[in-house]
Amino acid sequence: MRKLRVSLLEGRPLLDVASYVRRGPGRRDRLSPAEVEHISLTVRRAPEVMVRVLSRGGQDLRAVRRHIDYLRLREDGELGLETDDGERLSGQAASKDLVKDWDLDLEENRRRPDLEARDSRSPKLVHKVMFSMPAGRQPEKVLAAVKNFAREEFALKHRYVMVLHTDEPHPHVHMVVKAVSEQGIRLHVRKAVLREWRREFARHLREQGMAANATERAVRGQAQTRKLDGIHRAARRGDSTHMGERANAVATELRLGDIRPEIGKSRLVETRGEIKRGWHTAAAILAAQGHPELAAHVRRFVEQMPPPKTEKEQLADTLLERTQDVHRAR
């Protein structure tokens, strides 16, 4: 049943407001209680959960051990790792014991002949996943939600280990999941799977009494800034060549007074228009179903959406703000 639900979600956003204005069989004229709740959470700006899969470092034993050691060792001491069977692991032997218990050395040896024959990139031994909430949330509830999520998603199938980190303002849980299940089935984390994980993580947080939502940025009227966020983090570390090149190019255009439009701008504006029409239709449906207050909230939510901006336009805004800050500081 779970596989069927994920397959049905393939390619669909968690809150598909565009479907409210479709013509034909896909057109919506009623909203389910779950959809009403999701809309309410979104327009009332409930905190958005994040589930991220780290793409590198899960292909070989050395990288897996290094990552596990990184998770348990913090500046203020060592953290205990918690396994899928409730065992607590600590000490220098933790990563070695985990690799042995999960038979990852056998998995690595088993795949080598096949890899040599196919001459392809090594499949992952583990998936590295991070679950987080914005700053100010209760860490113990975030951890409890992740535990409940993991039991439902992976119990008796994929081995896993997790640890709560509170050394940053936003509480987050790191999880390492064995890529091949006890039944020999490989876990592929595609877009639809990530969407389902976000949805379920948010649900478990709400069961802990914590407001939480899982909606795409575009539906909320926010720019897709994942790439830009990564560039800014690298810039703060001082090792972002891409950020330097992009910033210099945009700064030159600003000095010339001519920010050249990007190819994706028209598509961005078109998408925003579709989303706004969807929200207005949702408001009309809500009003017809006896939710006038929520319908009014939806309309205010749409009115407050910032104008759609490309990555270059966001970078230009950042550079202008920094220039203004320098002038004010003088």
pLDDT by residue (tens digit) across 280-321? 999 999 999 999 999 999 999 999 998 888 777 777 767 777
CA angle centred on 23, ends 19 and 26, rounded to 5°: 50
Residue 34's identity, in one-letter code, is A
Nearest to 265 by CA among 320, 223, 319: 223
Long-range contacts, stretch 297-300, CB < 8 angstroms, 24+ apart: 297/40, 297/43, 297/44, 298/39, 298/43, 300/43
The mean pLDDT of the chain is 82
Residue 67 carries which side chain, given as an amino acid letter?
H
CATH architecture of the domain formed by 50-207: 2-Layer Sandwich (3.30)
User: For position 297, what pLDDT does the model report?
Assistant: 97
- Confidence check: pLDDT of 235 > 80: no
The pLDDT, as a whole number, for residue 213 is 94
Residues present in the chain in total: 330
Residue 199 CB coordination number (10 Å): 19
Q: Among 5, 12, 15, which residue's Cα sits nearest to residue 282?
A: 15
State the Cα–Cα distance between residues 69 and 92, nearest whole angstrom. 8
CB 192 within 8 A of CB 10: yes
Average pLDDT on 80-98 reads 90
Show me where the domains of the chain are located: 17-46+217-325, 50-207
pLDDT: is 223 or 41 the higher one? 41
Angle of CA points 173, 179, 183, to nearest 5°: 120
User: Across the beta sheet with 50-54, what order do the strands follow?
Assistant: 50-54, 126-132, 172-178, 160-165, 81-83, 88-89
- The pLDDT, as a whole number, for residue 325 is 66
Q: Could you count the other beta carbons within 10 Å of the beta carbon of residue 207?
A: 13
Q: Which two tokens stand for residue 98?
A: 């985990």
3-state helix, strand, coil in the chain (%, to 5): 55, 10, 35
Cα separation, 211 vs 44, whole angstroms: 10
Q: What tokens appear for 68 in the block?
A: 């596990």
Residue 158 and residue 187 in contact, taking contact as beta carbons nearer than 8 Å: yes
* CB of 175 closer than 8 Å to CB of 150: yes
Question: How many helices and strands (H and E) does the chain possess?
Answer: 12, 8
pLDDT in tens, 121-139: 678 899 999 999 999 899 9
Question: Residues 152-208: pLDDT tens digits?
Answer: 999 999 999 999 999 889 999 999 999 999 999 999 999 899 999 999 999 999 999
Nearest by Cα to 301 from 283, 316, 289: 283
SS3 120: coil
Residue with tokens 């914590």: 210
**Other C-beta atoms within 10 Å of 154: how many?**
17
